[in-house]
Chain A
Amino acid sequence: DAGVTQSPTHLIKTRGQQVTLRCSPKSGHDTVSWYQQALGQGPQFIFQYYEEEERQRGNFPDRFSGHQFPNYSSELNVNALLLGDSALYLCASSFLAGGQDTQYFGPGTRLTVL
């Protein structure tokens, strides 16, 4: 049973560029959540997608956007990158229809903005 997968593992960008991160949920899961984890901090919720719609959103600017595909996989897009966007980006999947399930995390994508 494949767990949550994310790509790429590492990414280096420069300020002002745009980046796309990808996530495939665990088999049987229908919901994808994205979190940003700065060095030495706990993860911060960015947004959650269910049925290809943004279901919840955290306190992040519009530069952060996402998408969910019919196969439940998801992308996180960040435009006009800032140095402060350097972080570990974690994707988590869960089964919303089940209501009682837990969010399981992928290995993350480490983004460095120079």
Chain B
Amino acid sequence: AQKVTQAQTEISVVEKEDVTLDCVYETRDTTYYLFWYKQPPSGELVFLIRRNSFDEQNEISGRYSWNFQKSTSSFNFTITASQVVDSAVYFCALSEGTGATNKLIFGTGTLLAVQP
């Protein structure tokens, strides 16, 4: 069965601290996609990154970095030098099969609060 677990319900940090959001997934498919979305208080889900199951190369994009490890079924997300504008709910999601446009299975989200 497919499942995404975000064990951290809420995280509070002070501005400029680094923070890592954890994501663990379950799937029987060998081909799948993993995503991170950000949901600010306005409600709109903002796409951050997509990774397919064949691409374990980790990436750094500005203050964001991602760590994908198939051996532990984890896809963690790190914000370096956090800012108040990073405050939002962050969702990890899984899409099974060969197309990234298949249905997304979301975790329950992690609320990140960055204090000034």
Identify the A interface with B (CB < 8 A).
31, 33, 35, 40-45, 48, 56, 58, 88, 90, 92, 94-96, 99-108, 110
Contacts and interface: CB of A to CB of B under 8 A. Distances in A.
Contacts of A110: 43
Contacts, number: 66
A78 B105 CA distance: 22
B100 A42 contact: no
Nearest to B35: A102
Contact of B37 (A33, A58, A105, A106): A105
Interface string B1-15: 000100000000000
A71 to B, nearest CB: 19
Please provide the 3 A-B residue pairs with the shortest distance between their CB atoms, ordered closest to farther. A42-B106, A105-B45, A45-B103
Contacts of B47: 102-105
